[in-house]
Structure 1
Amino acid sequence: MSTSHSGDRDRDEAGRARNARPRDGLGRPLPYGSPGVERQPEGVVRTPARTVDEAQALLDAGRPFHAHEVFEDAWKAGPDSERALWRALAQTAVGLTHAARGNARGGARLLRRGADGLAAWTGEAPGELDTEGIVRWARALAARVDQGAPVSAAASAPRLRSAL
């Protein structure tokens, strides 16, 4: 999806507001014309397994903001019965993003909110997600962030599937 910059707001082809500024690996906007990382396309419908694969690759690359966009697509396009799960995963990815940017308070809050949402999940997780492992990871990272530990997005990335 391309965007144009003119006037007060950037717009996509449909006329919807969409920021066209390039972004860094943690999703922070850069000045127009700066080199940035490739953005995730919006509105992609993926299978649960593909969602998990793509999000894991982005997390491993230290790009949790972009992983959040993949989870957001699943949240918005998936079945109603799975929306809370994908929303919780998006929240954990945004929590990691904020923690890696140095926003400890916001990062810890979103990590816990996502963990709580995942802990409430009672169904079988799609895409072979290890929801219990992700809950443990998010709560442990939130505790580290509360203690002032610096966070590297790639080094702190969760494992979305169990190692078994």
Structure 2
Amino acid sequence: MIVARIRARSQEAERRWKVRRDVSIATSARQTSNLRAEDGYSALIRNLSENGMLIETHAPLGPRDAFEIALPDHGECVAEVVWVKGELKGCRFFTPIPQAVVSAAVLRSPAEGAAQDIYDELRHVRMALDHEEQRHMPSALSIPGLVLLLVFEVLVVAMLIAGSA
């Protein structure tokens, strides 16, 4: 059983240039005015698009504050807070990120409400399928088998040549 959810919001409803994808990615953020590693904050990315994201963090970030955030498969990027509602912060990237990074984040993000045992079960099923495929794949032919196959091919070619003459 596969459990997944990808929800796209329409551009008309969101009034955004790019569609945001729901994700759940734990990462870290730090203000660009204070780039010491020990001053970083944990953050949870709730949705992501090429142009921005929604994060949940205790970081003291307000509108127009710039910060760096670590994105999987992309590394550090700089964003600016556009709005704040409690721990939620709507942000836009100074430089858009590639669509491939958004897609990878969606694929890596667990489906909402899915438990770890579902992912473990999927992994075990995949391993069982791989094992079954390997079991049914022909093993390498032995030297005598290869010689017999070669002799058979030579006989077939000789019969074709004799038949055409």
TM range (shorter): under 0.3
TM-score, length basis structure 2 = 0.20
Higher helix share: 1
- Pair member with larger Rg: 2
TM-score, length basis structure 1 = 0.20
Higher strand share: 2
